[in-house]
Chain A
């Protein structure tokens, strides 16, 4: 799980072009959206959707599902480990 969390952090930094952030800067339990976390917004959410599809073969069924998954890196990691197709 820790390896997957690190991999996800690296992927998130890469696809969202977070130039000044390192994987160590991201608290896996911190919220990704809004204040107190990475401060991501809706376009970033779409990037994460495409990331899950391209890298792990996961297609989300609805916006509501995305909302529950993209709460933190730890939560995404849990979802990916249970649903990944590659």
Chain B
């Protein structure tokens, strides 16, 4: 994915977030879905560069026709609005129905002494995995963007208090890498996105949906440094109050030379990412040209 600078933050200020959470305590999420789809998303599509990027993604990468690409672009932005609303609905105490595919893989890794890596991507609503997958046996360390709004971080911290979940903010220095390494040495789980270049600019060029795309080198390098097991985790929206979690093991040859391990692991991740994009084309939120 292209190494364009990303603000790394949820849209809106603390006041807006506070009132959105209050509103969601007493309002059905579907009312806000309808409101944003009619009044907010059309404006976003006109002023936000993500509309063009998404249209070109459907047209050039997915091979859709002009009309279908335009329709999918609108649906994509509506769904993105919905997952943001869902995130704040969770902060407001709302519950969602969750189905899990591959829970046995997740449970098997959490019962081991060794640490493992969870690779995520900018699809669906990954944050829900943190509130759903059981963390009673192993601490989960989630890599998050340092610039995220205080209101979002505060609400995450509130929901994660009393759980086995910690957040590691990506810092301009290499502090977060030390925290990752120390967590792995303690046998904990580390979760990080693997579809966008952040921090280190080292990249892997991989075929993705028929063209070559840049993927971050870091997540695959970190996993293979210590020969760790890797799980791809995607959380996709099925209905207004239902999500489905896909936990897929990404197996690679631990006996192979290191660079081959990195390449094989990245290939497995990209294959899983393509599967998710084909299953849920309107839930691709990596608004970057690539």
Contact = CB atoms under 8 A, between A and B. Distances in A.
Interface string B238-271: 0000000000000000000011000000000000
Interface string B214-230: 00011001100110000
Interface residues of B, number: 20
B221 to A, nearest CB: 6
Interface string B83-110: 0000000000000000000000000000
Contacts of B218: 42-43
A21 interface: no
Given A17-B258, A63-B175, A46 B181 contact: yes
Contact of B178 (A44, A47, A62): A62
Tell me what chain B mostly uses at the interface: helix, strand, loop, or mixed: helix
B174 A50 contact: no
Contact of B259 (A17, A42, A47, A67): A17
B180 A43 contact: no
Nearest to A62: B178
Contacts of A42: 174, 177, 199-200, 218
Tell me what chain A mostly uses at the interface: helix, strand, loop, or mixed: helix
Nearest to A17: B259
B259 A46 contact: no
A41 interface: yes
Contacts of A23: none
Interface in B73-87: none
A46 B199 contact: no
A66 B178 CA distance: 9
A49 B199 CA distance: 17
Nearest to B216: A43
A49 B201 CA distance: 19
Contacts of A45: 174, 177
6 contacts: A43-B222, A46-B177, A47-B221, A63-B173, A63-B175, A67-B174
Q: Which 3 residue pairs spanning A and B have beta carbons closest together?
A: A43-B200, A63-B175, A63-B178
Interface of A: 15, 17, 41-47, 49-50, 59-60, 62-63, 66-67
